[in-house]
Structure 1
Amino acid sequence: MRFTHKCVVILGGNAGIGLAAARMFAAEGAKLAITGRNRETLAAAAEELGALGIASDMGDVSQTQAALTEIEHTLGGIDVLFVNAGVGGFAAMPHVTEEFWDGIHNVNLRGAFFAIQSALPLLRDGGAIVITGSIGSELALAGNVAYASAKAGLRAMARTVGKELLPRGIRVNMVSPGPTETEIFKRGASEAEIEATRAMLGGVVPLGRMGEAEEVARAVLFLSSKEASFINGVDLYVDGGCVELG
């Protein structure tokens, strides 16, 4: 029970990797607060986990600040902050609009930075911050310029913040998933389309399959725990070997 009596906050904890991590944190004794934009899935997750659920869009800094204020009033300080919320989208460079670019960067980079900044007064010394990145920050995938640049900026931000928080003993690390089985690629798709996408994505992974949300979540819990007490500023690829073997 690595997180007994620890307060864990997951920004984007109502689905996918965030929800998988929330379930594991809860199973290891954590007091949980989760946020998400979808009120229905957020309420269901909060009820399942016995967590504090707060509807919040990380692309709106004021909403994140309000959520953190509620967390402080309800649960007190934070031991682990998992910044998982994010949005994606593909567009080739000639078709990237300012609106498209800003929509991705406002959540994935700007929103993540100001969420961490706003959480600093609540974070206890010796705590941990884990941020969801992407192997897209490393791989050059056509049509992924807006998302990849946001995640690459997030990676640079994480390393710098990790350096600045050294005096407080707060470790900052990233987990960068490869193709992962979540609801994102299934939304609005038929079963045949889902299977085709699964086969296509799994085919580019050296291990020959897509990852599971739980596999990424286990890496998040490791980096959040005392087992990773001498690890700071890393970007851990949980990608079936895509970056290192691709």
Structure 2
Amino acid sequence: MGQLDNRTALVTGASSGIGLAIARRFAAEGASVHLTGRRKAELDAAVAQVGPRGHAVQGDTSDLGDLDRLFTEITHRSGRLDILVANAGVGDYGPLGAITEEEFERTVSINFKGTVFTVQKALPLLKDGASVILLSSSSALRATPGLSVYAATKAAIRSLARTWAAELADRGIRVNALTPGPVETPGLNGLLAAFPPGDRPTAAHPAPPTPLGRIGRPDEIASAALYLAGDNSTFTTGAELFVDGGATQL
């Protein structure tokens, strides 16, 4: 018996890193999992890791047409959603004075707009009592020079979790924010590579990187997502769960 037997989940941004780890964990616990991602080759490889309970739908969550196609496919395949994990996100390095319009629009469109319309378009499929998990970031609480736009979008996601938890409470739908700290993922590695060597964020490369002395693993974030998705958190909504090795708390 798995913790998510007979449930249907959607995980956005599931081609790699945290999203893939969550999709794998949900499938291992018995859920049928829809995975989205922008890059087909990576998404196909991710579904192969998830196994027969995984279903790929290529698309960009900032593109409303792609979202319509995604939810049409979920409707035809499953007819419902019990769990939604809005994980798709990007981060660009851009100190004030060097932020470009292109980078701003990319970050805001995927992280903020994509989250808003993913959840909105999922509403007709979300069962009463469903769990919605929004991925924030410890960057929203820590001042990292060069990440102001990214951090602002992640702070906005925390705010969305509160408001939507209140709006959806009458349906028993729980909405929570899951806030990782530095985690070993391709996304983090790519972001760090964009920083000038002397300006790389201390959130990822101090000594030690967190009070626990290391950065996190994607499977550790997936374990927290499983808690929020399943029956062990049925009295938890509007909350923010930090999984950051104590980086924002100590």
TM-score band by shorter chain is over 0.9
Q: 1:84 aligns with which of 82, 87, 91?
A: 87
Structure 2 CA distance, aligned partners of 1:102 and 1:163? 29
Is the contact between residue 128 and residue 172 of structure 2 (CA under 8 Å) also seen in structure 1?
Answer: yes
For structure 2, list consecutive stretches of 5 or more residues without a partner in the other structure.
Answer: none
Residue 231 (structure 2) pairs with residue 226 (structure 1): yes
1 or 2, which has the higher helix percentage?
1
Which residue of 1 is the match for residue 249 of structure 2? 244
3-state SS of the aligned residue for 1:79? Answer: strand
Deviation at 1:206, TM superposition (A): 1.0
Residue 140 (structure 2) pairs with residue 137 (structure 1): yes
For structure 1, list consecutive stretches of 5 or more residues without a partner in the other structure.
Answer: none
Is the contact between residue 12 and residue 35 of structure 2 (CA under 8 Å) also seen in structure 1?
Answer: yes
Within 5 Å, which residues of 2 pair with 1:40-189?
A: 40-48=41-49, 49-50=51-52, 51-187=54-190
Deviation at 1:203, TM superposition (A): 2.6
Q: In structure 1, what residue type is equivalent to 2:135?
A: T
Which residue of 2 is the match for residue 18 of structure 1? 19
Residues 202, 80 of structure 1: CA spacing in aligned structure 2 closer, same or farther, 3 A cutoff? farther
Q: In structure 2, what residue type is equivalent to 1:54?
A: V
Q: Percent of aligned positions with the same letter in both sequences?
A: 38
Is the contact between residue 182 and residue 204 of structure 2 (CA under 8 Å) also seen in structure 1?
Answer: no
Aligned residues: 240
Deviation at 1:201, TM superposition (A): 5.1
Deviation at 1:74, TM superposition (A): 0.9
Deviation at 1:65, TM superposition (A): 1.8
Is the contact between residue 176 and residue 228 of structure 2 (CA under 8 Å) also seen in structure 1?
Answer: yes
Q: In structure 2, what residue type is equivalent to 1:23?
A: R
Is the contact between residue 182 and residue 188 of structure 2 (CA under 8 Å) also seen in structure 1?
Answer: no
Is the contact between residue 157 and residue 177 of structure 2 (CA under 8 Å) also seen in structure 1?
Answer: no
Deviation at 1:47, TM superposition (A): 2.8
Residue 37 (structure 2) pairs with residue 36 (structure 1): yes
Residues 152, 186 of structure 1: CA spacing in aligned structure 2 closer, same or farther, 3 A cutoff? closer
* Structure 2 length-normalised TM: 0.91
Alignment RMSD (CA, Å):
1.9
Is the contact between residue 17 and residue 214 of structure 1 (CA under 8 Å) also seen in structure 2?
Answer: yes
Deviation at 1:186, TM superposition (A): 3.6
Residues 154, 202 of structure 1: CA spacing in aligned structure 2 closer, same or farther, 3 A cutoff? farther
Deviation at 1:160, TM superposition (A): 0.3
Structure 2 CA distance, aligned partners of 1:185 and 1:81? 23
Structure 2 CA distance, aligned partners of 1:106 and 1:149? 13
Structure 2 CA distance, aligned partners of 1:244 and 1:211? 15
- 1:93-129 deviation line (CA, Å, top 9, x unaligned): 1111222111101010111001100000000000100
Residues 122, 202 of structure 1: CA spacing in aligned structure 2 closer, same or farther, 3 A cutoff? farther
